Amino acid sequence: MIKKHIPNFITLMNLLFGCVAVIFAVQGNLLLSGAFVCLGIFFDFFDGLAARLLNVKSDLGLQLDSLADMVTSGVVPGIIMCQLIATALGDHAGSNLLSSDTPWMVYVGLIITLASCYRLAKFNIDDRQTDAFIGLPTPANAIFILSLALIADQQSNSFLVTWIENPYILILISVLSALILNAELKLFSLKVKNLNFKTNWYRYFILILSVLGLVIFKYVAIPFIIVLYILLSIIVNTNSEQKEN
């Protein structure tokens, strides 16, 4: 049956765009790299949807999805962070990361790649993540890192750029990113099972605020949206636990 291969083909498109993004990231072209990551994440969203609609979900599809995500949302953001740290250190902007005189601090960014791999492996064997996430999903983390590169390139916010151009801040972000990816932190899914406002208020809140933020502040709003999503998840889960007790 051809239809059972459709979701896997979509997943492979995610992988293809991720591979292209890797090439551009290594070359220091972070904007094009980010564009291809976004294309990959777009296909990543639709492979699972296609599998459900066609009723062809499979273990192969699950493994293939994680392998593709490892490239698009794991390898690429790690390389991009390395480039950001290199740029922040001074004379390595858009550099060859394999140069013998590249400072060791540059490679701290790859902790994001390692943490993404660990998170994806855990996801495949964790049956708790059907209606919610445990730890920040790798696509969301990738978008967060990409937004930093975009802000730094466009120099659109002097306050944020000052932070992004600090190598120690970038290293701290890399470490925090790795921790949040694998933290035992329950984050709500944006999937809406019903339209009841009382049970979905936080989903509507983050979606409306995200749209407004993107319209008004464009890509500068992205890191704040991701941080707000994490904080709002903590608040929602804390309230739920208090009600249960």
Question: Domain holding 117: CATH number?
Answer: 1.20.120.1760
When pLDDT is cut at 50, 70 and 90, the band that residue 95 belongs to is low
Per cent of the chain over pLDDT 70 is 90
- Length of the chain (residues): 245
Is 50 exceeded by the pLDDT of residue 18?
yes
When pLDDT is cut at 50, 70 and 90, the band that residue 45 belongs to is confident
Q: 193 and 245: one domain?
A: yes
Q: 215 and 180: one domain?
A: no
Q: 60 and 168: one domain?
A: yes
Using an 8 Å Cβ cutoff, are 129 and 53 in contact?
Answer: no
Q: Which amino acid is at 151?
A: I
How confident is the model at residue 113, as a pLDDT? 98
Is 70 exceeded by the pLDDT of residue 114?
yes
Q: Name the least confident of 44-48, 65-69, 127-131, 234-238.
A: 127-131
d(CA 145, CA 137) in angstroms, rounded, equals 13
Q: 76 and 43: one domain?
A: yes
Q: Is the dihedral of CA 199, 211, 32, 150 positive or negative?
A: negative
When pLDDT is cut at 50, 70 and 90, the band that residue 93 belongs to is very low
When pLDDT is cut at 50, 70 and 90, the band that residue 221 belongs to is very high
Give 148-201 pLDDT, tens digit per residue. Answer: 999 988 876 667 888 888 999 999 999 999 999 999 999 988 766 666 667 778
- Number of folded domains in the chain? 2
Tell me the Cα Rg of the chain.
Answer: 18
> Which residue, chain included where needed, has tokens 């994490």?
230
Q: 16 and 107: one domain?
A: yes
Q: 230 and 209: one domain?
A: yes
Is 60 exceeded by the pLDDT of residue 2?
yes
Does the model's pTM come out above 0.85? yes
How confident is the model at residue 193, as a pLDDT? 62
Q: 203 and 217: one domain?
A: yes
Q: 201 and 221: one domain?
A: yes
Joined tokens for residue 203: 């989903």
Three-state DSSP class for 22?
A: helix
* Domain ranges, residue 228: 189-245
Is 80 exceeded by the pLDDT of residue 226?
yes
Q: 195 and 79: one domain?
A: no
Q: 176 and 147: one domain?
A: yes
How confident is the model at residue 179, as a pLDDT? 97
d(CA 95, CA 113) in angstroms, rounded, equals 19
Is 70 exceeded by the pLDDT of residue 94?
no
Q: 165 and 199: one domain?
A: no
Is 90 exceeded by the pLDDT of residue 117?
yes
How confident is the model at residue 157, as a pLDDT? 64
Q: Which of 135, 163, 184 corresponds to the end of one domain?
A: 184
Average pLDDT of the segment spanning 211-228: 93
Q: Which of 167, 184, 201 corresponds to the end of one domain?
A: 184
Q: Which of 162, 184, 206 corresponds to the end of one domain?
A: 184
Q: What is the DSSP secondary structure assignment for residue 132, as one 8-state letter?
A: E
d(CA 156, CA 112) in angstroms, rounded, equals 25
58 to 39, 131, 193: CA distances (angstroms): 23, 18, 23
- Mean pLDDT of the chain, nearest integer: 87
Average pLDDT of the segment spanning 219-239: 90
Q: 34 and 135: one domain?
A: yes
